[in-house]
A and B are shown apart, each in its own frame.
Chain A
Amino acid sequence: MIYLDNAATSWPKPPEVLRAMSEFLELAGGNPGRSGHRLSVGAGRIVFGARQAVADLFNADDPSRVVFTLNATYALNLALRGLLRPGDRVVCSGIEHNAVMRPLRALERDGVQLTVVPCAPDGSLDPAELARAVLPGTRLVVLVHASNVTGTILPVGEAAAIAHAAGGLLLVDAAQTAGVLPVDVQALGIDLLAFTGHKGLLGPPGTGGLVIGQRVDTAELEPLARGGTGSQSQRQEQPDDLPDKYESGTPNGVGIAGLAASIRFLTERGVESIRAEETAAARALSEGLAEAPGVTVYGPADMERRTAVVSFTVAGRRVSEIGQRLDEEFDVLSRVGLHCAPAAHQTIGTFPEGTVRLAPGRFTTREEIRRTVEAVREIAKG
């Protein structure tokens, strides 16, 4: 089987991740941060270790400003719903995922003023166009770090400067880039970074979080949920201390233990060297597909400007048929359709049919890429 759906979730996971999760349940099964006995303390230590590992990975200076959530979607909702009030201005790109667009459209109905800046057909965003849309007083700029449809990397560093000059903040959706590209929140000026654990970070599903920068006044960021935190239990009001303000209820300790192990795995190998391997795989895939008759490959031609996500269509063929034949006849697992990102498909001109998306990962081999290109050529032939 050739697994090329790593942009949906990475597979397989490093064996260290499975081991850490099994050990957590076997040896550290207490409720982290709730009690003073050794199982609770053991579990809490693992969760804190993961918090520190996330902070180190993204070069965030304070681990208490790393908040664990169920996934990137929850983290994005926390940032958007927690920060934006009726009358606030927010600006996003034309290739956002529905994890951003749906909360924004709902907020728009509540009186938030939304501006969507169109992207070029290859998904790229011109910083000058963004700057024109970000009027003084804009509360928030929201950008996907890289498109889940075309892999196009957006200029988040420039966007941070633009947002800050207008007196606002920058929220980055790193669902496709955490563990895939080096992300330094301080160097890039990212104020809020939403990430998921189960894609490029190679951890288990049910993990993710929001990294909150020092420019964000957390008094102005409301929690999505309130409840028990194991702290200030004498009060019936939610505590203001971080990370507890945003982490009510028992956390996904077993998942977070797996995430800590996967970040260790990534850090030991180096995100940059993994990036180089994945880029080489995506280049071979993209170039091989482009030579096949009737095939259109989307996204920037320059691999340095994109992640290892390759979307394509074949003239006259339904994407669903291509995906099914890849699976059934060639043992290649892809994802077809709109990838929860209608705005991105409208931008690249593939709405409403969508594309076939191939996403190599850390464990994809060159031989698998070669066989996949052969398979698509075979299908394109007829």
Chain B
Amino acid sequence: MVAVFLFYTSSAAFQAERALKDAGLAVKLIPTPRQFSSDCGISLRLDWSEGERAQALLAERGVEHAGLHQM
């Protein structure tokens, strides 16, 4: 199962990518799956098992996201 982070801006998506990659997580920026939202054209995909850790890391770095979804 994969997890997808949504964002309000692409700037936040790139900031999240950098923060999570720096922490050693395997993440990939993807076009936002249409079933979720069209707030921002790109989203961040990662393994569902790392979702919680990723959320904590983003909170710690002050990176705002628009929700974590399962896919």
Residue positions of A touching B, CB distance < 8 A: 32-37, 40-41, 44-45, 47-49, 51-52, 61-64, 229-234, 239, 241-244
Residues of B within 8 A of A48 (CB): 10-11, 14-15, 18
Size of the chain B interface, CB-CB below 8 angstroms: 22
Residue positions of B touching A, CB distance < 8 A: 8-15, 17-18, 29-32, 38-43, 62, 64
Q: Is the CB of B11 within 8 A of A51?
A: yes
Residues of A within 8 A of B43 (CB): 36
Complex Cα gap A36–B4 (Å): 14
Give min CB distance, A326 to chain B, whole Å: 45
Give min CB distance, B44 to chain A, whole Å: 11
Sample of 13 A–B contacts (CB below 8 Å): A32-B10, A33-B41, A34-B10, A35-B31, A36-B32, A41-B29, A44-B14, A45-B14, A48-B10, A48-B18, A229-B9, A233-B38, A242-B11
CB-contact partner of A35 in B11, B12, B41, under 8 A:
B41
Do A242 and B32 contact each other (CB < 8 Å), given the known contacts A45-B14, A230-B41, A231-B39? no
Scoring A49, A61, A244 by chain B CB atoms within 10 A of each residue's CB, the highest score goes to A244
Residue of A nearest to B42 (CB): A36
Give min CB distance, B42 to chain A, whole Å: 5
Q: Is the CB of B62 within 8 A of A63?
A: no
Residues of A within 8 A of B13 (CB): 44
Residues of A within 8 A of B14 (CB): 33, 44-45, 47-49
